[in-house]
Chain A
C-alpha cells in the first residue's frame, strides 16, 4: 500500500491535489482512499489530505500516521506545530517540499535522515498564497515518485477532477501537474509499495475513554467568556500587516472597525495596535487605510520589533 500525506494551507489546493492523485491511482487499477481532514478548512489555515492506494482491499481507516511520502506545499508550515508536518516521520519516509531552499538545508534544519526532495519555487515569491497551482504540481510530482502512474493517466485524472472549471484553469493545472511529474523523473518509483498492516499492528488512537455520566456533568457547558482567544489564529498568516507609525493619522476607527476579527484595538494614545496572536493576515486593514500607513510584509521575513511597531 502507498500512504501519502499532503500538507498545505487552505487555498493552496491540497484537497484537490489528493483527489487528483487518488483518481490517478484508481485509473491505474488500484483501490484508493483519498480524503481531506476536516477542521478549520479556511484560507491560510493548515490543511491535511491523505491518499492510500493499494492493489488489494484497504482495511486501514482514518488519518495516515506513518506516511511513506509527506508532501509539504508550503514550507512555512514546517515550523507551525499545529500543522504536524513531521508527525510519524521515520528515516524511511520521503519528504517532498515546495521551497526556494535546497534539500540539504532542510535536512540539516530538521535533522532528518530520510530523503528530502524539493519542488523549487521562485525566491522572489513574497506571499506563498500566490502559488495557486502548487497543489497540481505536488500531485504530479507524487504521481511520478510512486512510479506506477503514467503521464496520460495523470492528465486524465486532472481533467476528471477539475471538470466544470474554466478550460484556462484546467490547462494551467494540467501544465503544472505535468511540470511536477517531469521534475521528479530521476526519482521515479522511489516510493515503494509497503505491506498492509494487520489488525494487531494497528496503532490504537490516542483517545481517552470517558465513562458515561449524567447530562448535568457531561453536557458541554462553558462558564467563562472569550475563551476563543486561546486559539492562536495568527498562525494562519502568510503576510503580516505592519503599521507605519509616522504615517498613521490616528484616525482611530478605520482599521479597527474594518478588521473582520476585531484584532485591532486602539490604545490610550489613539494608536491602533494589531494583535498578531490572532490576526489571520487577511490584509483588509492594508486595503482600507486611507493614508496607506499599513504595509504587508511576508511573514517568513521575521520582522524586527521595530518594524512591527510594538
Chain B
C-alpha cells in the first residue's frame, strides 16, 4: 500500500472520465462506483458489458466511454473479454500495435450475470488465467427488469418475485469466496460510498496481471426502495453495520481493508430500505432480524478471532 497514489482523500481525481447523460436511475450506486473505477482504470480500456442495468450506458448512438464498448449476452462477457485479449495479443505479436497502444479488457456485469448465469464463463476465464478485470455492480437483484431476485439477493429482502411476509427465503451467495477459491491475481469488494478504499483497490488491480475481480455493492434506490439522496448513507451503513465487508484477496490471503470499530446494529441499514419494511411493519419480525444480525456477528467473530 506504500506506493499508492491515493494516500489521502485529496488525491482522488477532481475531474471525471466517464461521460454524463447516461439514463441510469438518479442516485444509482452502481454508476457511482463505476465512474470512480473508470477514473482510476483510465482510457486505455475496452468495456465488455453483459446484459443488465449498465446496458443503458451505451444506447446507440450514445456512449459515455472514451474507448470501445462491446455488448454481450448475459452469460458471455468473460468470453467476450477473452476474444478482445486474444485479438490485442495477436496485433501486438504481429507488430500492428505497440505496447503503448495496448488496452485492458474490462468485464462489466451486474449480479445476475456474476452470481448466476455468467459464473461458468467467469470460472473458466480465471482458470485459463485470462488477463482481464471483472467489475460486478451488485444491486442484489435483476434491477433492469424490475428487481426480480438474483443469487445475490440478501435474506428476507422483498423483490418483485419474493413478496411474502418473509421476503426472499435464500441467502446471498458468497461470490468473493467463490472467486477467491480460484486463486486469481486479485479479488476485492468495494463500494462507491468509500471512494478512497475503492481507488486504492482499483489501482492495485490495474497494476497486476491475470484475472482481477472487483465486487461493488451498488445501493439501488429503485430496487431497494429508498429516496435517491440516501444512496451514500445506505452505502456507508452497509459498511458500518458489517453487512458489506471491505476486503481483498491476493497472494493466497484475504485482508480486511476497513474493519468497522464498533459495528452498528444491522437494523440501522435494513430499516432505511423499503425492501425490508415488512420486517418492521406492521410488527417487528424479531426472528428474522435476529437471524440476520447473528449471521453478520458470526462472520466478524471469525475475522476478529
Given the contacts A42-B26, A262-B16, A283 and B228 also touching, CB distance less than 8 Å: yes
Binding stretch for chain B, among A86-94, A142-150, A230-238? A230-238
For A45, what are the chain B residues with a Cβ–Cβ distance below 8 Å?
A: 23
Q: Are B62 and A230 interface neighbours, CB within 8 A?
A: yes
Q: Provide the B191-227 mask, 1 if CB < 8 A to any CB of A, else 0.
A: 0110100000000000000000000000001100000
| Nearest Cβ on chain A to B45's Cβ, whole angstroms | 12
With a cutoff of 8 Å between Cβ atoms, the chain B residues found around residue A258 in the complex are 32, 192-193, 195, 232
Closest CB in chain B relative to A246 CB, distance in Å: 21
Interface presence of A215 (CB below 8 A): no
Task: Count residues of A near B (Cβ-Cβ below 8 Å).
Answer: 50
Tell me which residues across on chain A come within 8 A of B195, comparing CB atoms.
253, 257-258
A227 interface hit (Cβ, 8 Å): yes
Shortest CB–CB separation between residue A163 and chain B, in angstroms?
Answer: 9
Q: How far is the CA of A39 from the CA of B56 in the complex (A)?
A: 10
Whether B23 pairs with A222 at a CB distance below 8 angstroms is no
A168, B15: Cβ atoms closer than 8 Å: no
Nearest CB in chain A: distance from B217 CB, A: 14
Contact of B304 with A by CB under 8 A: no
The answer to whether B278 and A166 touch across the interface, beta carbons within 8 angstroms, is yes
Contacts of B66 in A (CB 8 A): 225-226
Whether B277 sits at the interface, judged by CB under 8 Å, is: yes
Report whether B229 and A287 are in contact in the complex, using a CB–CB cutoff of 8 Å: yes
Indicate if the CB atoms of A260 and B23 lie closer than 8 Å: no
Q: Chain A 233-269 against B: per-residue CB contact (8 Å), 1 yes, 0 no?
A: 1001000000000000000111011111111011000
Chain B residues with CB under 8 A of A260: 24, 26-29, 31-32, 35, 192, 231
| B176 proximity list for chain A (CB < 8 A) | none
Which residues of chain A come closer than 8 Å to B27, judged between CB atoms? 43, 260, 280, 282-284
- Do the beta carbons of A228 and B277 come within 8 Å of each other? no
Seen from chain A, the residues whose Cβ lies within 8 Å of a Cβ on chain B are 10, 39-40, 42-45, 164-168, 220, 222, 225-233, 236, 252-254, 256-263, 265-266, 270, 275, 277-278, 280-284, 286-288, 296
> B residues engaging A (CB < 8 A)?
9-10, 12-16, 18-29, 31-32, 35-36, 56-58, 60-67, 163-164, 192-193, 195, 221-222, 228-233, 277-278, 281-282
Q: A226-B19, A253-B9 are in contact. List 11 more A-B contacts (CB 8 A).
A: A44-B26, A167-B282, A168-B281, A226-B66, A227-B63, A229-B21, A231-B23, A260-B27, A262-B35, A278-B21, A280-B26
